[in-house]
Amino acid sequence: MTSTARLLIVGPQGSGKGTQGVRVAEALGIPVVSTGDIFRANIKEGTDLGKKVTAILDAGDLVPDELTSEIVRDRLSQDDAASGFLLDGYPRNTVQVGHLDAFLADSDAALDAVILLDVPREESLERLRLRATEQGRSDDTDEAIAHRLDIYENETAPIISVYEQRGIVDRIDGVGSLDDITARISTALAARGIGQLV
């Protein structure tokens, strides 16, 4: 099933947005555009971008807005994203919201819905610690995790206000089984006339 859904999934690190994003995108036949995946692929391949990103992440910081927006614009310009996409990890602040709005306005488009996974901070920390142990991710130290959650709360939370004013935010309880959470997302999107996930 193909959709013309232009979606954004938002939530703190450890909220499960990566997993849910893939489920939603596959069900709707649209690509996931994850800044984290794009950055990790470049790091793995040792590209110039990858080296830049590694230095930034090792310092516990986030990649600058202009660089991130440029990469996302390039990805959204590809053919498979023409009829829809699911953004994960972008926009993460109000500056990037402006960049995305401008890009979409060029093709007379806008976001259809923002899926917000609500997860308590303690739950996010616990999940991230587990992930660090299981995957051996060097960027998942306790200090780096806490720093990224602080950045999320300070920078990303304000974008929710912007999208709430537009009436496109669906708050989803992000605690429970994967299937339960997917079902909640499906119900919210169906209410907007967007596909059927489950």
Long-range CB contacts (< 8 A, 24+ apart) of 98-104?
Answer: 99/65, 99/69, 99/72, 99/73, 100/69, 100/72, 103/69, 103/72, 103/73, 103/76, 104/6
**Sheet (strand 6-10) strand order:** 32-34, 85-88, 6-10, 113-118, 169-173
The pLDDT, as a whole number, for residue 111 is 96
What amino acid positions are annotated as catalytic residues? 17, 92, 131, 137, 148
Of 22, 61, 24, 17, the residue nearest 39 (C-alpha): 61
Q: What is the mean pLDDT of the chain?
A: 89
pLDDT at 51 over 60: yes
- Percentage of residues in the chain with pLDDT exceeding 70? 95
The pLDDT, as a whole number, for residue 39 is 86
What's this model's pTM, rounded to 2 decimal places? 0.84
Quick one: average pLDDT of 149-175? Answer: 92
Long-range CB contacts (< 8 A, 24+ apart) of 132-141?
Answer: 138/58, 139/57, 139/58, 139/60
Q: How far apart are CA 17 and CA 9, in angstroms?
A: 6
The pLDDT, as a whole number, for residue 7 is 97
Alpha helices, DSSP H only, in the chain? 17-28, 35-45, 48-58, 65-76, 94-106, 121-135, 142-151, 157-165, 178-191
What pLDDT digit, counting tens, does each position of 53-109 carry?
889 888 888 789 988 998 898 899 889 998 899 999 899 899 999 999 999 999 899
| CA 38 to chain CA mean position, Å | 12
Task: Please say whether the structural domain 6-191 has been given the CATH code 3.80.10.10.
Answer: no
The pLDDT, as a whole number, for residue 148 is 83
Of the pLDDT bands very low, low, confident and very high (cuts 50, 70, 90), residue 38 is confident
Pick the more confident residue, 57 or 179. Answer: 179
What pLDDT digit, counting tens, does each position of 92-151 carry?
899 999 999 999 999 899 999 999 999 998 888 888 888 888 887 776 788 888 888 888
Residue spans of the domains in the chain: they are 6-191
Of the pLDDT bands very low, low, confident and very high (cuts 50, 70, 90), residue 1 is very low
Contacts of 197 (CB under 8 A, 6+ apart): 23, 24, 27, 28, 182, 183, 185, 186, 189
Of 68, 4, 60, the residue nearest 30 (C-alpha): 4
SS3 call for 88: strand
Pick the more confident residue, 144 or 170. Answer: 170
